[in-house]
Structure 1
């Protein structure tokens, strides 16, 4: 049964419209002001919202912006007595799908609903939604580079696409970041699923461009059969949905986020632990400009941690203390405490995908840029008893030979430590498999 939310401060008009929908077997929710409408929209996630412009507590423009940031699939029809071109344009810019004038007939309203809602499909039969079920957890690297894509012969072995990792575990397909590598992932998924619908979860660590720039080119987002859940934390200056939409607005891109046909739900995370199906996810804020998180995914076959952007505090805090002439010991103690917290978060991790953008010499020239060095990444992984370390977020100035040298150095550091830990440099297209845990 379709659902509609009526946001209208005129009680008589709202009741009359409710009766029209009720006679046609719609489930109707009602709100008498904009703030209540936003609350009901987020709670019930209706198929269609009818919204007035001039209302108490939140006007129609504010309602459109607030709802559009959280509910991409929901269609919004503004119904107003104001026939000003600027109002129509502002409503559409704020996120409305249609703008209709009062008074309105059911025929006009019904035609507008038909225009904005996708063609109805028969309900999915049990089991029709394809889910990935495998006895193991698979991690596949689709983009391993930092900052900017660097295609060409010098990066052909390790790859030039920016950050994107696919994790398949316990019936879920979880994508970590949406750098340019997600375009290749999308093409691969289209070939695999063909006409079957997909259910995907996309975890965004942060909204710097190299971590979201591939989303407009992700083919599954253009298919209305697919369900895509996007999760991440609010940015320093804007909400997650606003930032993702912003990179697709004119003059930057010809197709807007709300024109994508898949069922995209963008959710701003508030908690530091949540679940995606049977996969438990813990998050921890990383040391990187703005709001940036790292994630640890706990699957039935083991855990994977993903920290593509993180600058260790050790040298950074000492550098700041020296620059500002503050207490060196206080700075050292703070850095040690923060490192201990991160070690605890990563303790016993099966796979750690970690920022190792700079050589140690390069890092000396880039302190405060928000990225880590090779030796610090290795030291952290060893302290946390990580089983396998993946050196990630390769610097755009590093060619394949430079990454070979860094990998050799990392393995030597592990050998010198006397501990057993695998180390690999992230390579586009490579896969890591975790076997199921054996229970006795």
Structure 2
């Protein structure tokens, strides 16, 4: 009798992890489990499985990186099955580029799991390595584990938290007379926690923020902490035009999780390659450090945590907490249940987003589509105004700020949509304050 095939299940969802394990044991396989990526890699080295079943969006190391690291070990007989609630075609493609042999969308039945596992076990193995990469330089990258502390020279004397919007638009810059009040620049938010400077996303709005910082600081050095929700164009396209990067006395830490197929540094290095921009990343005069997150970090008295969002590729939202105050940023995100149906796992995923934003003083919430527009753009990874209102009320947020305005939404359209949201909040009997982000307008907690 041939030996049992060995399967390792790596998933942070305890219910699904146990479901998969029990179904596979009953089918005659030898099974080990791990609740997150780093422990999964350790068990893979000790257990030496024939097949790894790996979730995609996990705390710590996400599934893309687990796939890459497993393939880098050169195990030619290893099969990898990625499972996820994310059903975007781009995620399926990126998972396979990272080293996955197959991809299953959650939820799945025991029969479907057994069929997929049986098929993979019977298939010839792939070459045991992820797709080669031509530029693997990471000279500015630092990896930090959960609850790491980032040193800062800022002297914290004040406890107020100020938020100012420099880019409010999603997808594409939309300058012109029809967007002068709400703004046409893409995503960029300045957050001051006392004397500490945070910047969320680097859309085209960061250019004007950079000029304002130079006027404010004069000859003094600027230390900034830039948080990148994801690296689609509308969230990074302003980075090369952020003037403080070209001044030697300045220092910037740039935070996000590793991308699906390359590091954060390599994404920015590629954006500034000679084909696209005249100045390479290495020639920027300021001190730059890319910090790849595996959990919350502390910058002085500030805790920055993140949560994965439902958007093509790797996308995260941020929560900034200090002095008993909190700001949460959720952009870009599509409801799991609206996209994938009313399954228990999708409801848990949606509930997790609500809990991440729980009791926020300010909740910056993407609201790109009307309900009618969503019918044509379902699966693009964005929320509706109704989604934003329901999610913010459920999270018991104090002040929701509508964000990531669609390029087609003029100032007049935004006025009407803001009124629509406020009326929905009134009918729900909620005390939620609601506004829509406008360029250069600030809010203080």
| Alignment pair present for 1:412 and 2:423 | yes
| Alignment pair present for 1:154 and 2:225 | no
The question of whether the paired residues in 1 share the 8 Å contact of 2:400 and 2:432 is answered with yes
Report 1:43-192 matches (<5 A).
Answer: 65-70=136-141, 133-192=157-216
- Equivalent-residue separation in structure 2 for 1:385 and 1:66 (angstroms): 44
- Equivalent-residue separation in structure 2 for 1:334 and 1:366 (angstroms): 23
Report 1:254-269 matches (<5 A).
Answer: 254-269=278-293
Q: Deviations over 1:168-225 (max 9, x none)?
A: 1043101001110010110000000000001110010110011011110001100110
Secondary structure, aligned partner of 2:139: helix
- Equivalent-residue separation in structure 2 for 1:135 and 1:376 (angstroms): 32
Moved segments of 4+, more than 6 Å: none
- Specify the alignment match of 2:245 in structure 1: 221
- Equivalent-residue separation in structure 2 for 1:428 and 1:213 (angstroms): 17
Secondary structure, aligned partner of 1:410: helix
The question of whether the paired residues in 1 share the 8 Å contact of 2:138 and 2:266 is answered with no
- Equivalent-residue separation in structure 2 for 1:206 and 1:411 (angstroms): 29
| Alignment pair present for 1:297 and 2:320 | yes
Alignment coverage as a number of residue pairs = 304
| Alignment pair present for 1:198 and 2:217 | no
Shift of 1:292: 0.4
Report 1:391-430 matches (<5 A).
Answer: 391-430=402-441
The question of whether the paired residues in 2 share the 8 Å contact of 1:131 and 1:198 is answered with no
Report 1:12-51 matches (<5 A).
Answer: none
- Specify the alignment match of 1:307 in structure 2: 330
- Equivalent-residue separation in structure 2 for 1:230 and 1:130 (angstroms): 17
Report 1:256-405 matches (<5 A).
Answer: 256-271=280-295, 273-300=296-323, 302-318=325-341, 331-405=342-416
The question of whether the paired residues in 1 share the 8 Å contact of 2:138 and 2:265 is answered with no
The question of whether the paired residues in 1 share the 8 Å contact of 2:140 and 2:289 is answered with no
Shift of 1:335: 2.4
Is there any run of 5+ residues in structure 1 with no aligned partner, and where?
A: 1-61, 72-127, 319-330, 435-440
The question of whether the paired residues in 2 share the 8 Å contact of 1:129 and 1:198 is answered with no
- Equivalent-residue separation in structure 1 for 2:315 and 2:276 (angstroms): 24
- Equivalent-residue separation in structure 1 for 2:404 and 2:134 (angstroms): 39
- Equivalent-residue separation in structure 2 for 1:284 and 1:215 (angstroms): 23
Shift of 1:147: 0.7
Is there any run of 5+ residues in structure 2 with no aligned partner, and where?
A: 1-132, 143-151
- Equivalent-residue separation in structure 1 for 2:324 and 2:160 (angstroms): 6
The question of whether the paired residues in 2 share the 8 Å contact of 1:143 and 1:428 is answered with yes
Task: Output the aligned Cα RMSD.
Answer: 1.9
The question of whether the paired residues in 2 share the 8 Å contact of 1:389 and 1:424 is answered with yes
TM-score, normalised by the number of residues in structure 2: 0.66
Shift of 1:134: 2.9
Secondary structure, aligned partner of 2:414: helix
The question of whether the paired residues in 2 share the 8 Å contact of 1:69 and 1:242 is answered with no
Shift of 1:301: 5.0
- Specify the alignment match of 2:25 in structure 1: none
Q: Say which of 233, 237, 241 aligns to 2:265.
A: 241
Shift of 1:63: 13
Secondary structure, aligned partner of 1:415: helix
